[in-house]
Chain A
């Protein structure tokens, strides 16, 4: 009996050990659960991340800044949508940023951030991003992480194959997804074919200050232009745009735009068109679009309506544009770091197609054409083909490169990232994504010099990956280590919606130049006051302008009388601080706008139209100091026509009095 008991016990122990070993083994295989994955994404308190990731905010209209590998969110930069937190689009200074030919538009759909480049490498000066809905391109200054310029794109609709830069940031491009009548007019929709046009817009970027200006717009056939990427290295001077709906359908596109086995990648020799335009080519056409510029000196934006645009008709510049047949409804259009391969991610195709730039030039030279479309030569597929990745997955969308000869492609339908080798076209590894990945990003992956350490996959669906938050669950991205032969999933992290696309860059290239304060002495705002003694209140008619200052921990003035119901009261508030990370806020009871959040040395303005008689307080909204709760003031509002004079004081003394 004892022996049996002993042997049973022994068996139990052995099986326990075996099973726990087995468990351990299983866990070891699941990268995300292993200790090393946690270590790889752990950024200790006080330490900095290695990379910035600029991830588009999609239908939020903004641009989010994360650190990699931690996945921590640092800032949501307001770009195309109003942001009450930062008063973007609410204060008088930034309202002009959202002006368009359709008037003030408080929202857009932001898609494809791209970082400026010099000699084909990231230079970390600006991020460009497109507004998809009311076509616009924005520029974010990476010394301030603020949107400093927005240019509207006329003759465009669904500004999707945007906002990618050439390798010296000569141009940022904006291609239309929807073709529309050009010029816009009242016409039957069913007469789409041949009448609708697809505008590809080349916006020049001033190499010194980054000022954007539409150089020319190419009026292409009425296809849908989906994504684009610049040539680089040997293919510098060309730009490649994927097209779909080459069927030119105008209804039920999911069927009618999916009939052709091959659509096109449009190869545009922009250098040739630039030369044509510089020699007086193109047609000047009337137009109306907004160009909005924010100045760090006046801390204010101005909006200018532009009335003329230079249109280029493709058939007028022979030899500048070719179509590369590409299966089937290609989405991403990606160029490898050497500039040789142009990858067409045919989202409905069974294979992944790589065109060879060298072969393309040879085919052009040898006139190996397969007909033409609207006067644009179609090159022969077989003659330009560089290679095909066979059975790569389902629904390829986007490819990026690690600079070590490998490419990484997302597959939406099979929900995975696939690593494959350029040149041999063999699949090396595949890892699932959770779920339905859209685009992916390797820092510098759209440049001659990728930093091939991580790939970030941005998912369209998250379902059960996080604790639920009702029907609308979080958006999500996933980080993979790509330093080894096989990819390793390191981290899931939630993002703001919707993370369409991203651009990443080593933090070293940006962080040393990040501005700490705005210098008060350089502030050229129209309503700035640089000392408390200059703060004042001025009435002109029913407008009251309050020139206010703020410093730890009070406003000047903080008692104001003589305001009347029906007045339009402008609070022009200057933060006198010159210390890092000491913003102040201000909010006024009943003001039909947002708070202001004012950085040191900056001036911002909000408008208050008091509707009720009384004494109404305002206060600092950003916890600024130990005396933050004391940072407040009162405005006395008298009935309309009252004879209470305008007075303004601090600590009982009239401002400026000795």
Chain B
């Protein structure tokens, strides 16, 4: 089998890592939490970093009127299908397609990824800004607007007494490496065609 096809198939299959490992993680540090509170985001569920962390994040956040992190979200139904279909498509393309289709697959995957991040951003924005009118404590920004508590999309950010960290986890790295392999497969495939 051609090298490019192998790369495409392996790259697509690496997406399956998302069914095992978390995609993303949000961790909250504070002086009172020497062991930080954290939440792993899988494509199917939210999981405590340490037992009861989500319950305790909710308890902390209710002081500023933030909503509880829901048990489940609609995305948990969509993500597994999207990843599953892309994996199957990738493998089929790997077996039967050419390098151009590899690139198409890669671009579709990028679009889906960006859409996913945008969706995540929207949820975070709502989570950080849609505050209860009966919030126990209200904070204003220096410009007088109501302070939001949106965690960062990527990176670290100070939110009141907490320092919030938002970073990809092992599942995401599987996906990144997989996508990189499929992108490489495109170039390798192109070279293979040209060298004929």
Size category of the binding interface on chain A: under 10
Judged by a CB distance under 8 angstroms, whether A72 is at the interface is no
Chain B positions near chain A (C-beta within 8 angstroms):
35, 51-52, 55-56, 59, 63, 136-137
Chain A positions near chain B (C-beta within 8 angstroms):
517, 551-552, 577-580, 626-627
Looking across the interface, which residue of chain B has its beta carbon closest to that of A625?
B63
Question: When the two chains form the complex, which single residue of A579, A626, A627 contacts B56, counting CB atoms closer than 8 Å?
Answer: A579
- Measured between beta carbons, the chain A residues less than 8 angstroms from B56 are 578-579
Verify B63–A627 contact, CB threshold 8 A: yes
A interface secondary structure, majority? loop
- Measured between beta carbons, the chain A residues less than 8 angstroms from B55 are 578-579
Known contacts: A551-B59, A626-B63, A627-B63. The answer to whether A579 contacts B52 by CB under 8 A is yes
CB distance from B135 to the nearest CB of A (A): 12
A and B contact pairs by CB, cutoff 8 A, 17 listed: A517-B52, A551-B59, A552-B59, A577-B59, A578-B51, A578-B52, A578-B55, A578-B56, A579-B52, A579-B55, A579-B56, A579-B59, A580-B35, A626-B63, A626-B137, A627-B63, A627-B136
* C-alpha gap A626/B30 in the complex (Å): 15
* C-alpha gap A49/B137 in the complex (Å): 39
CB distance from B63 to the nearest CB of A (A): 7
- Measured between beta carbons, the chain B residues less than 8 angstroms from A580 are 35
* C-alpha gap A551/B52 in the complex (Å): 14
CB distance from A139 to the nearest CB of B (A): 28
* C-alpha gap A579/B34 in the complex (Å): 12
- Measured between beta carbons, the chain A residues less than 8 angstroms from B35 are 580
CB distance from B67 to the nearest CB of A (A): 17
Looking across the interface, which residue of chain A has its beta carbon closest to that of B137?
A626
Looking across the interface, which residue of chain B has its beta carbon closest to that of A627?
B136
Looking across the interface, which residue of chain B has its beta carbon closest to that of A517?
B52
CB distance from A552 to the nearest CB of B (A): 6
* C-alpha gap A551/B55 in the complex (Å): 11
* C-alpha gap A627/B59 in the complex (Å): 12
* C-alpha gap A627/B55 in the complex (Å): 18
- Measured between beta carbons, the chain A residues less than 8 angstroms from B63 are 626-627
Looking across the interface, which residue of chain B has its beta carbon closest to that of A630?
B136
CB distance from A627 to the nearest CB of B (A): 6
- Measured between beta carbons, the chain B residues less than 8 angstroms from A551 are 59
Looking across the interface, which residue of chain A has its beta carbon closest to that of B59?
A552
Q: Nearest 6 CB-CB pairs, A to B?
A: A578-B52, A579-B56, A552-B59, A578-B55, A627-B136, A579-B52
Interface centre among B52, B55, B136 (most CB of A within 10 A): B52
* C-alpha gap A2/B59 in the complex (Å): 83
* C-alpha gap A517/B56 in the complex (Å): 13
Looking across the interface, which residue of chain B has its beta carbon closest to that of A651?
B134
* C-alpha gap A579/B51 in the complex (Å): 9
* C-alpha gap A583/B52 in the complex (Å): 16
CB distance from A372 to the nearest CB of B (A): 63
Looking across the interface, which residue of chain A has its beta carbon closest to that of B62?
A552
Looking across the interface, which residue of chain A has its beta carbon closest to that of B53?
A579
CB distance from A410 to the nearest CB of B (A): 40
Looking across the interface, which residue of chain A has its beta carbon closest to that of B52?
A578
* C-alpha gap A552/B57 in the complex (Å): 12
- Measured between beta carbons, the chain A residues less than 8 angstroms from B59 are 551-552, 577, 579
